[in-house]
Amino acid sequence: MTSTPPTRMLIRGATALTLAPGRPPYEKLDVLIEGGRIAAIGQDIPAGDAQVLDASGQLLLPGFVDTHRHSWQTGIRGVAADWSLMEYVRNIRMGYARAYRPEDVHASVLVGALEAIDAGITSMCDFCHIMNSPAHADAAVDAFSASGIRGILSYGFYDVPLEQPAFCSHAERLADAARMARTFASRPAGVMALGTALTEGGLVTSEQTAAEVKVSRDHGLRMTAHMGTLSTPDTVGRMNNAGLLGPDILHVHCNFSSDEELAQIRDSGGAVSVTPETELQMGMGFPVTGRLLRAGLRPSLGIDIVSDYSGDMFSQMRIALQTERALRNEPILRERKMPATVSPTVFDALQFATIDGAAAMGLAHEVGSIEVGKAADLITLRTDGLHYMPPAEPVAAAVLQARASDVCHVMVAGRLLKRDGRLVGWDLASLRARIGDSARHLRDTVASQPAVSTSTTSAYSSAIASIVDQH
Ligand SMILES: [Zn+2]
């Protein structure tokens, strides 16, 4: 459903925030793209036979990198608006998740990825723990691929508590992930990769965690995992003690991970995704943005769930930045003093959302900054709204003034997925009808399905049920 990229394209007239080392925070630049890659950056580059994309007066940025999203929850948008983590686990992980058919997974992952593209996100790590059957897994891969977004579709090993499960053992689920890895490996290389999403420590045995890591590494799949929550705070340490940590693991949340555990992630070459809005709402603890910086790790940002709030990176940059500023200001205020300065900076927040996210996903050599040789994953922001009258300094504008509706052009590997404010190649009315039908099915099914009983579910569904029951 996406257009064929032109062989050569010239983006003309934008103010570029390149995020590239050694360059100023912003500068007037033209960007020449050849074969999906950035071939040249400079001023007044001759167009020659290149198609010219006029970005006069716009801001040009590397596409945002969302390091943690469950796009399968797009079809239940907003249901968690007033929920704690325990309500979320009970009502979604053990409730709505049981109602998903493969077509619901397809509709949610597709619309979720397109929503991300529309908001300027060009790379995503999609934590897909809705693999209720092989058909669910295939649907997720097909939908993610069809959207045109770059990133990792992470096969979730989590065992949704179904009445009639398609997988009768942990081993069968691992075998399905291996099946998918073999199938995926036979496809032509593109902007999408397959990964895995580990089951939370505490819900499976240490042997099962080791088996999930082994099948991932046997097939060269990068991993991601929810880590360091209050119910199982020491998951990083447990994996470290088992010799399982590595640069191929993207740890998510880590609110209750100790400083020693954050150092273990750093020493392993791993990375962390901070999802500030979920963590603040759901009682998961303060985002670890500042603790990561003090440990020598760069934070990346994730949107997590549109079953709760909006799917754009502007919101997460602001919440992460202002929460960390508040945390740093608090001890000064407690001494009845006023902070003389604030930190981190807006430029830090922009790095978290771009180049630091790319590094967290193992993609820093490809995307996350505007540099010659990198893939042309780029976005532009319009600056003709009232909120640019008068224009703010460009970095401050991109982080604290811009809105998702400002996103004008979006390209992945030089392919325009959004042009002049409209997604390319998609009929929004038919997408709306599809996701609407799916949302009705999910709502009606959940309204009539019985609650999960701890005595009738599998061992690790029982474990999660008992955690919920304690709260
Ligand atoms: Zn999550």
DSSP 177-232: HHHHHHHHHTSPP-SEEEEEEPPPBTTB-HHHHHHHHHHHHHTT-EEEEEE-BTTB
Domain-located, residue 440: no
- Name the burial class of residue 209, with classes exposed (0-12), middle (13-18) and buried (19+) by CB atoms within 10 angstroms of its CB: buried
Between CA 373 and CA 383, with CA 379 as vertex, the angle to 5 degrees is 135
pLDDT digit string, tens, across residues 185-194: 999 889 999 9
Å from CA of 226 to ligand 1 middle: 6
Say whether both 14 and 123 belong to one domain: no
Show which of 360, 381, 411 is a domain's final residue: 360
Of the CA atoms within 13 Å of residue 144, those in its CB half-sphere come to 31
Which tokens sit at 224? 């991601």
Quote the pLDDT of residue 457: 47
d(CA 34, CA 325): 41
Quote the pLDDT of residue 325: 98
Identify the three-state secondary structure at position 11: strand
d(CA 286, CA 263): 18
d(CA 140, CA 161): 19
Å from CA of 190 to ligand 1 middle: 25
Å from CA of 70 to ligand 1 middle: 6
Å from CA of 131 to ligand 1 middle: 15
d(CA 160, CA 458): 9
Quote the pLDDT of residue 1: 47
Quote the pLDDT of residue 404: 97
Between CA 306 and CA 112, with CA 366 as vertex, the angle to 5 degrees is 15
Say whether both 207 and 130 belong to one domain: yes
Quote the pLDDT of residue 232: 84
Å from CA of 198 to ligand 1 middle: 11
Say whether both 250 and 140 belong to one domain: yes
Å from CA of 100 to ligand 1 middle: 18
Say whether both 330 and 205 belong to one domain: yes
Rounded to 5 degrees, what are φ and ψ at 147? -70, -30
Å from CA of 406 to ligand 1 middle: 27
Å from CA of 251 to ligand 1 middle: 10
Each residue's pLDDT tens digit in the chain (471 positions)?
445 666 899 999 999 999 999 999 999 999 999 999 999 999 999 999 999 999 999 999 999 999 999 999 999 999 999 999 999 999 999 999 999 999 999 999 999 999 999 999 999 999 999 999 999 999 999 999 999 999 999 999 999 999 899 999 999 999 999 999 999 999 988 999 999 999 998 889 999 999 999 999 999 999 999 999 888 899 999 999 999 999 999 999 999 999 999 999 999 999 999 999 999 999 999 999 999 999 999 999 999 999 999 999 999 999 999 999 999 999 999 999 999 999 999 999 999 999 999 999 999 999 999 999 999 999 999 999 999 999 999 999 999 999 999 999 999 999 999 999 999 999 999 999 999 999 999 999 999 988 876 544 455 555 565 555 554
The closest alpha carbon to 313, from 366, 265, 263, 275, belongs to 275
Å from CA of 28 to ligand 1 middle: 38
Å from CA of 225 to ligand 1 middle: 8
Identify the three-state secondary structure at position 176: helix
CATH number, position 54: 2.30.40.10
CA Rg value for the chain: 22
Show which of 314, 340, 360 is a domain's final residue: 360
Residue whose entry in the numeric block shows the structure tokens 């908001």: 119
Domain-located, residue 445: no
Which tokens sit at 407? 């996103």
Å from CA of 109 to ligand 1 middle: 15
Å from CA of 413 to ligand 1 middle: 27
Say whether both 175 and 265 belong to one domain: yes
Å from CA of 126 to ligand 1 middle: 9
Domain that holds residue 103: 64-360
CATH number, position 271: 3.20.20.140
Å from CA of 428 to ligand 1 middle: 27
Domain-located, residue 468: no
Å from CA of 304 to ligand 1 middle: 5
Domain-located, residue 102: yes
Strand 222-227 relative to strand 249-253, pairing: parallel
Say whether both 21 and 112 belong to one domain: no
Say whether both 304 and 179 belong to one domain: yes
Å from CA of 465 to ligand 1 middle: 18
Say whether both 115 and 150 belong to one domain: yes
Looking at the structure of the chain, the number of domains it has is 2
Say whether both 351 and 372 belong to one domain: no
Backbone φ/ψ region at 269: left (φ over 0), alpha (ψ -120 to 50), beta: left
Å from CA of 416 to ligand 1 middle: 29
Å from CA of 305 to ligand 1 middle: 7
Identify the three-state secondary structure at position 374: coil
Show which of 314, 336, 360 is a domain's final residue: 360
Give Cα 287 to chain centroid, integer Å.
Answer: 16
pLDDT digit string, tens, across residues 231-243: 889 999 999 999 9
Å from CA of 250 to ligand 1 middle: 12
Say whether both 140 and 213 belong to one domain: yes
Say whether both 334 and 380 belong to one domain: no
Domain-located, residue 458: no
Exposed e or buried b per residue across 289-302, where buried means at least 16 C-beta atoms within 10 angstroms of its C-beta: bbbbbebebbbbbb
Residue whose entry in the numeric block shows the structure tokens 């390091």: 67
Domain-located, residue 443: no
Domain-located, residue 189: yes
Say whether both 205 and 316 belong to one domain: yes
Laid out side by side, the sheet with 249-253 consists of 64-69, 121-128, 150-156, 192-197, 222-227, 249-253, 271-274, 300-301
Domain-located, residue 191: yes
